[in-house]
Amino acid sequence: MASTREDEAYDDEPIVITGVGLVASAGMDRESVWRAVRDGRSCVRRLSGLRGLPDGKILGATVDMPAEYPSRLKVLPMAEMAANEAVRDARLDLDAIDRDRFGCSISSHMGDASWLEEQAGLKVPNDPGRTPWWQQWLPNSTCIHIANKLGSTGPRYSYSTACASSLISFMSAVRALREGQCDVAIAGGADAIDPLFVAGFQKMRVLAEHEDPNQACRPFDRNRSGFVIGEGAAMLVLERLSHAQQRAARIYAQVLSCRALADAHHVTGLDADSEALSYLISSTLRSSKLRPRDVGYVNAHGTGTQQNDLVEMRSIREAFGPAADQLCVSSTKSTLGHMINAAGGTELAITVLAMRDGFAPPTKNLTDPDPELSFDCVPMVGRRNQFQNALKLSVAFGGHLVAVALSRWNDAASGFSYPPEAKVA
């Protein structure tokens, strides 16, 4: 299916999402994960076997991989499962597309640090095959692995921007499609719980603790104390509209705008008085040709740390103004944990499914809202909300701020249609 439009301008052609794949602690496929998020059902437990860390002290939302996906570097099989599901969901025939016009943009991840652990005198599980050096030291190993598995010979990108990595990788895929570098792309990210990462977060005192692990992460709650680390993968298939229509694809949503800015303050801290995030939200709405009242749902970064939540609460209110009173905002990290490099992509996928079903997922454990919380964060129980437009935010260490605006594809023939009588917010 070679392109015949390589000399034409692509900037104005809509970019659409046609496939979604998910793996997380709450399920090994898209619909299982989405049902758990809808129900506010998490699978957080006390972890053991993290080399160099005491058993039972760290909380985590882990993925139990099936035996048919053996891999010491756990991130690879999780990414492969999500990518395969996304391609199936998009009904994308890989033999029928031009592989040179098939892009791959998948975020970086933590590598294998077993050699370093051995040098530090830590006990490392027996691994007769040894992890290949490129998986140990190349943070783009997942991108390489998935692109090679799918036969993608189009543009290939992998970004390392902390917990905005997979959202920026998604943005990079959108840009490649708009520039005419490819016709279709797979984008997202994956990450696994790693002892080195956990030790760093523990040293920073950003990890939540609670006698009940499933109540530990409390975004926007007065008693929040940090995040619970999670793992998983999310992949999305993106296409130029003409390519999707040519193969009669089913469409979830149109990507209206992707934008990034920086909070130039501190490596891990945010400036509570900064206007960077509110400006990013406003500029993303403007570039999407959306008014604040046109947006029905925001999937927040929502880590459950004191500082992040405060900045998000203030910025959302400032950017949306009076329209924030009608807005549904939620943090799904309260259910799935913080997947670090995979967080933004996973939560964007959840936002797509929320749009599909017209349902705003809840913020779990939000029982005592912060006094500064001045809008609806969908506490404890999700609700029906047939919204047309949504926003996904990522606020990452290093000052990386990202926003993606989506619009639901309402077409009975090619998308998911609400009932004719339903009101769309």
338 is known as an active-site residue:
yes
Residues 238, 187 contacting (CB under 8 angstroms): yes
Q: Which of 43, 104, 163, 182 is catalytic?
A: 163
**Catalytic annotation on 145?**
no
Nearest to 154 by CA among 224, 221, 89, 239: 239
Nearest to 251 by CA among 14, 82, 419: 14
> 30-39 vs 343-357: helix axis angle to the nearest 10?
80
d(CA 98, CA 107): 23
Q: Please state whether beta strands 389-396 and 400-408 pair in parallel, antiparallel, or not at all (unpaired).
A: antiparallel
**Distance, CA of 392 to CA of 350 (rounded, Å):** 10
Of the listed 109, 145, 243, 301, which one is catalytic?
Answer: 301
Quick one: which H or E segment has residue 39?
Answer: helix 30-39
What distance in Å separates the CA atoms of residue 107 and residue 188, rounded to the nearest whole number?
Answer: 6
For 35, 132, 225, 362, the CA distances from 42, given in Å and listed in that order, are: 11, 34, 18, 12
Which residue reads 């809840």 in tokens?
Answer: 362
Neighbours of 1 (CB within 10 A): 14
Tokens of 366: 């939000």
Tokens of 75: 């991130």
Q: Tell me which of 109, 145, 243, 338 is the catalytic residue.
A: 338
Q: Are 166 and 3 in contact (CB under 8 A)?
A: no
Instruction: Please tell me whether residue 207 adopts helix, strand or coil conformation.
Output: strand
For residue 63, with 0-12 CB atoms within 10 Å meaning exposed, 13-18 middle and 19 or more buried, which class applies? Answer: buried
109 among known catalytic residues: no
Q: Show Cβ contacts of residue 169 under 8 Å, excluding neighbours closer than 6 positions.
A: 105, 106, 107, 157, 158, 159, 187, 188, 189, 345
Catalytic residues: 163, 301, 338
